[in-house]
Structure 1
Amino acid sequence: MATRSRSPRAPAALTHVDAQGRPAMVDVSAKDVTARSATAQCKVAFPVAVAAQLRASGMRSNKGGIVDTAVIAGTMAAKRTHELIPFCHALPLDGVRIAIDWHGERELRIECTARTTARTGVEMEALTGATVAALTVYDMTKALSHAIVLGPAKLLGKQGGKRDFGKVG
């Protein structure tokens, strides 16, 4: 049986630097406009007693509905990612969906899926939406404990562009 030898993949190069090594925005004008989507996740871990208290309250605090507020904040953040991260392109988002569910006894899992039809992907928008939603949960619950832990935040998947990765929700 013959084996195929694979040529080693060239190391990836940073894209947000110019030829002189200075910061630069990527020029995407030559890329095709295609449908693109990405899903990111950020977790929020609570001390056991705090998680029990939040479950008993139906995820409501003196500041209001925790999940509803986090969904709104995460959506707003995804839409404004280009204002927060210097070299992100302003993208016309076709949709942002944020799902927040308990994962185990004391951990919330926040997933953000962003979709666009554009020349560049929406990974940063999905990551921004998920992490700002997590920060909002923290803000609304920090009176109960400062031992709340955020993260990890990670990209679960992306579709469109040069390479697909993982699974998009």
Structure 2
Amino acid sequence: MSDLEKRVRRLEDRAEINDLVVAYFLAADGDDLDGVGESFTEDATFSSSGAQNAASRAGIVDFIRTARGYMGLTIHTPHYAHITFDGDDEASGLVGAHLELVLGGQSIYGAVRYVDRYVRDGDRWRIAARDMRTIHIAPWLEVGEAYSSETPVRWPGAAPGPTDYPRK
């Protein structure tokens, strides 16, 4: 493969991974569990703040199905995907996003970063590992107070906690 072909392939890979990031969010928001599953490898993992929630494609789909059972309308809005290639068929990513969710009957808003690992699985890219790290999240009416506090992570029904990205 020539240098030009390698460079073009890398651009195509980057575009496909970006499309994968968006497709996952659209599938999650649209309750398309098949689409959610297609986003992950068979042996993928899904974590939140470093704690594993599910392992395997089927396990992740079950985890998302259960979580969505407590949710109403959701909007996942990706803002960027910073992708670093670790080889021809592996990449790491950091995806910044905002979440607007109805969770347990309560409207919440927040910002997260997904720490991802991608692999080429056959003829397409898929997520091999995803760890959702929370910057801030709170009920809409508490966002301003929560965001400026030492405990900006306020999932409904849980004790307020620190951000996964504290200032240094």
Determine if the TM-score, normalized by the shorter chain, exceeds 0.5.
no
Q: Counting strand residues as a fraction of each chain, which structure ranks higher?
A: 2
Higher RCO (Cα < 8 Å, 6 or more apart): 1
If the length of structure 1 is used for normalisation, what is the TM-score?
0.42
